[in-house]
Amino acid sequence: MTKPYNRLDLDQAVVLLVDHQAGLMSLVRDFDPDRFKNNVLAVADLAAYFKLPTILTTSFEDGPNGPIMPELKAKFPDAPFIARPGQINAWDNPDFVAAVKATGRKQLIIAGVVTEVCVAFVALSAIAEGYEVFAVTDASGTFNPVVRDGAWNRMSAAGVQLVNWFAVACELHRDWRRDVEGLATLLGDHIPDYRNLMTSYGAVRGAIPQAAPGA
Neighbours of 92 (CB within 10 A): 14
Contact 139, 115 (CB under 8 A): no
**H or E segment and range at residue 200:** helix 192-205
Which position among 68, 113, 118, 124 bears the catalytic label?
118
The alpha carbons of the chain give a radius of gyration, in whole angstroms, of 18
Q: Is 170 tagged catalytic?
A: no
Distance CA 162, CA 132 (A): 11
Distance CA 205, CA 146 (A): 46
Which letter does DSSP use for residue 160 in this model?
Answer: P
CB-facing half-sphere around the CA of 61: CA atoms within 13 A = 15
- List, by residue number, the catalytic residues: 118
